[in-house]
Amino acid sequence: MTTREDATREAAALGEQLRRHAHLYYVLDAPELPDAEYDKLFQRLQALEAEHPELRTSDSPTQRVGGKVLEGFAKVRHKVPMLSIRTETDITPGGASAFDARVRKELGLAEDGPQVEYVCELKFDGLAVNLRYEQGVLVQAATRGDGEIGEDVTQSIRTVQQIPLRLHGHAPPVVEVRGEVYMRRDDFEALNERQREKIAAGQKNEKVFVNPRNAAAGAVRQLDPAIAASRPLSFFAYGLGEVSSPEQGGPDCATQFDWLQQFHAWGFPIGTQTQRARGAIELIAFHETIARQRDALPYDIDGVVYKVDSLELQRRLGFVSREPRWAVAHKYPAQEQLTEVLGIEVQVGRTGKLTPVAKLAPIFVGGVTVTNATLHNEDEARRKDVRVGDTVIVRRAGDVIPEVVGVLPESAARPAQQRGPVFTMPRKCPVCGSDALREEGEVDYRCTGGLFCGAQRKEAILHFAARRALDIEGLGDRLVEQLVDANLIRTLPDLYKLGFTTLAGLDRMADKSAKNLVDALEASKKTTLPRFLFGLGIRHIGESTAKDLAKHFGKLDAIMDATEEQLLEVNDVGPVVAKSLRTFFDQPHNREVVEQLRACGLNWEEGEPATRAPKPLAGKTFVITGTLPTLSRDEAKDKLETAGAKVAGSVSKKTDYLVAGAEAGSKLDKALELGVAVIDEARMLEILENGL
């Protein structure tokens, strides 16, 4: 038992915290705490108030049903209050039995009496709304607010494609359909991707949403419907508000199940998992089935809901305070939890991508114990400012990799010297030591030691063996996996050291397949330069670039030694490709691999460098103005530059020719004034064809 003074102090502190977090959650759509933590504080306050009832003031957070009405929206008084559901916190099957037992007791059913029929639904994790239809037309949409008064969000709700603006089929004079507006996980990921791009582009007012529910709530309470429309929302119908009686033309439904069918007939999505169940045993079975499916669902749920099916029985059961006795929410383990960051590591993926990963104190979240969570990339890690020793919110929903959503403000507020260093991405690959490179406009760093890097070994070998590269038949996914895991291949040249005996000794490898592979390896040694170049798996070097490079330089050594400027002279090679090639061949490891492959006997015919395309216009400066009859200005510029000319933006004494089209303006005047030669498109084409 807590003493009174202690209890008073603790209750005041809890009240303050809860009010702050409720405001962040409901009003600002920017929660700082996972729901489960909020619930813990809430339950602690409830317990204190139960022990010391005098602490239960009317303004205590426990005395408020839902959120708060937002400024900026018109208020809507619900004709029928929007209730909440009692939450069964016992997440074991026992929770379902306890509910069934309460219902049976209230209904006065004997132990051997009939089973109660229920409807089992999913508890969607979004935002509850009331949709009012008059004569079948959507006239108003409102959030739940505090259950009595909500916010008018008609404008943003009208952008939700899954909500019919007019009911299908026969519509009663008045009906209010209730349900959950939510965001699918894939839509959420895509939205956040766009948000990150906007932030990267310097848009200060944009933010990354912490979870789909938060993003959905933000979109619904978006005063600008254009912005709401750009945030993809979905909807499930599950409940009823005001409705015309059957005498006045309303539907005559006797069960919750009937209502769901009616909602569906009017054009609403209803939960596809919904099932009828009899008695506790079937409720438990439903809870367990959905627990297994939860990760694979395209949206978040935080539990299931059981509802007594018969509306007559619902009426008999009635309500306690603001919660119906005929329904209960049965939860699953929370998908967000708090834990401590023990370290930050950088992992290298199969394709060389470097990802910062937070090492966590083990935490049970979304049904599994998590010890690693992704921080995505350097920008994200720095934006979230995650440091060793921080307490962070970890989220694991669906089969998505667990991620760090953010740092608790208390952690972030610690003095700098008590926090770990700011994260910076290493400039060397932590696996192989090659340079790690971040290309302009990209968020990820990549290891450039493709052939040498242990993390990329399997991928590199598969790529090398691919049909369009060295075409080594029989060297597939599983075999590469086996060879690498058994340490039989570390780098590409090891492939050519595999003998028949080694191969035939592998699992599931018949003598014949081993022989075929040895032959295929032998045959692959005679190849072509483009295939070899493509097979090296250099970033941005596809098949056709490899061909262009081979044609232009003729010899591999010439390519390996070419400067970026020289590489830029090749058809279709731009700065990104040139830099990628240069960095690749600057890694000593990569050069070694190439040498070793040659030493293994890989060979191809080398040619002479292509005779340089003639540059008849080298040293000449052109300016283009006006609209040309057949070419766009860019096309004309391209042609001139290919012939070696310089194309400038303005006319000066250094200009040799002005190519003038229709409606040429000041540039033409200037050219005439300076005595620069003025030609038309036809003459330009003739010069290109025949020279000056």
Give the strand pairing for 127-134 and 275-278: unpaired
Residue sitting closest to ligand IVH (CB): 128
In whole angstroms, what is the distance from residue 460 CA to residue 535 CA?
8
Residue 214: other Cβ atoms inside 10 A: 20
Q: Are 398 and 336 in contact (CB under 8 A)?
A: no
Nearer to ligand IVH, 303 or 535 (CB): 303
Among 100, 121, 176, 548, binds ligand IVH (CB under 6 A): 121
Give the strand pairing for 436-438 and 391-395: unpaired
Nearer to ligand IVH, 81 or 433 (CB): 81
**Which class for 494: exposed (0-12), middle (13-18), buried (19 or more C-beta within 10 A)?**
middle
Which of 40, 33, 42 minimizes the C-alpha distance to 15? 42
Pick the stretch among 81-89, 380-388, 469-477, 497-505 that binds ligand IVH (CB under 6 A): 81-89
| Binding of residue 29 to ligand IVH (CB under 6 A) | no
Nearer to ligand IVH, 121 or 444 (CB): 121
Pick the stretch among 123-131, 160-168, 290-298, 373-381 that binds ligand IVH (CB under 6 A): 123-131
Least distance in Å: CB of 214 to ligand IVH? Answer: 14
Q: Are 556 and 504 in contact (CB under 8 A)?
A: no
Which of 204, 197, 200, 157 minimizes the C-alpha distance to 177? 157
Least distance in Å: CB of 301 to ligand IVH? Answer: 8
Among 55, 217, 305, 684, binds ligand IVH (CB under 6 A): 305
Nearer to ligand IVH, 327 or 578 (CB): 327
| Distance linking the first and last C-alpha atoms of the chain | 102
Within 584-623, the residues that bind ligand IVH by CB under 6 A are none
User: Helix/strand/coil (H, E, C) string of 204-249?
Assistant: CCCCCCCCHHHHHHHHHCCCCHHHHHCCCCEEEEEEEEEECCHHHC
Nearer to ligand IVH, 253 or 568 (CB): 253
Cα 57 to chain centroid distance, Å, stands at 44
| Binding of residue 324 to ligand IVH (CB under 6 A) | yes
Write the CB contacts of 218 (distance below 8 Å, at least 6 apart in sequence).
29, 209, 231
Among 73, 99, 124, 585, binds ligand IVH (CB under 6 A): 124
| Binding of residue 239 to ligand IVH (CB under 6 A) | yes
Backbone angles phi, psi at 478, to 5 degrees: -65, -40
Least distance in Å: CB of 367 to ligand IVH? Answer: 19
Least distance in Å: CB of 323 to ligand IVH? Answer: 7
User: Helix/strand/coil (H, E, C) string of 543-576?
Assistant: HHHHHHHHHHHCCHHHHHHCCHHHHHCCCCCCHH
Nearer to ligand IVH, 256 or 456 (CB): 256
Least distance in Å: CB of 309 to ligand IVH? Answer: 13
| Binding of residue 238 to ligand IVH (CB under 6 A) | yes
Among 18, 76, 83, 479, binds ligand IVH (CB under 6 A): 83
Going residue by residue from 619 to 648, which x/- string records binding to ligand IVH, judged by CB under 6 A?
------------------------------
Q: Are 463 and 350 in contact (CB under 8 A)?
A: no
Going residue by residue from 167 to 196, which x/- string records binding to ligand IVH, judged by CB under 6 A?
-------------x----------------
Please indicate whether residue 123 is annotated as part of the active site: yes
Nearer to ligand IVH, 37 or 121 (CB): 121
Q: Say which residue the tokens 């667990």 belong to.
A: 402
Which of 126, 195, 187 minimizes the C-alpha distance to 376? 195
Q: Are 529 and 536 in contact (CB under 8 A)?
A: no
Within 135-154, the residues that bind ligand IVH by CB under 6 A are 144
Catalytic residue among 40, 123, 515, 646: 123
Nearer to ligand IVH, 274 or 377 (CB): 274
Cα 43 to chain centroid distance, Å, stands at 33
Least distance in Å: CB of 68 to ligand IVH? Answer: 15
Which residues is 150 bridged to in the sheet?
Answer: 76
Least distance in Å: CB of 577 to ligand IVH? Answer: 51
Among 78, 104, 123, 446, binds ligand IVH (CB under 6 A): 123
Which of 327, 299, 301, 266 minimizes the C-alpha distance to 131? 266
Q: Are 429 and 348 in contact (CB under 8 A)?
A: yes
**Which class for 72: exposed (0-12), middle (13-18), buried (19 or more C-beta within 10 A)?**
exposed
Q: Are 365 and 353 in contact (CB under 8 A)?
A: no
Among 11, 85, 191, 365, binds ligand IVH (CB under 6 A): 85
Count residues contacting ligand IVH (CB under 6 A)? Answer: 14
Least distance in Å: CB of 115 to ligand IVH? Answer: 22
Nearer to ligand IVH, 104 or 123 (CB): 123
Pick the stretch among 78-86, 291-299, 421-429, 430-438 that binds ligand IVH (CB under 6 A): 78-86
Among 84, 115, 195, 347, binds ligand IVH (CB under 6 A): 84
Least distance in Å: CB of 204 to ligand IVH? Answer: 32
| Binding of residue 325 to ligand IVH (CB under 6 A) | no
Structure tokens at 345: 């590591």
Least distance in Å: CB of 261 to ligand IVH? Answer: 15
Interaction site with ligand IVH (CB under 6 A): 83-85, 121, 123-124, 128, 144, 180, 238-239, 305, 324, 327
Active site residues: 123
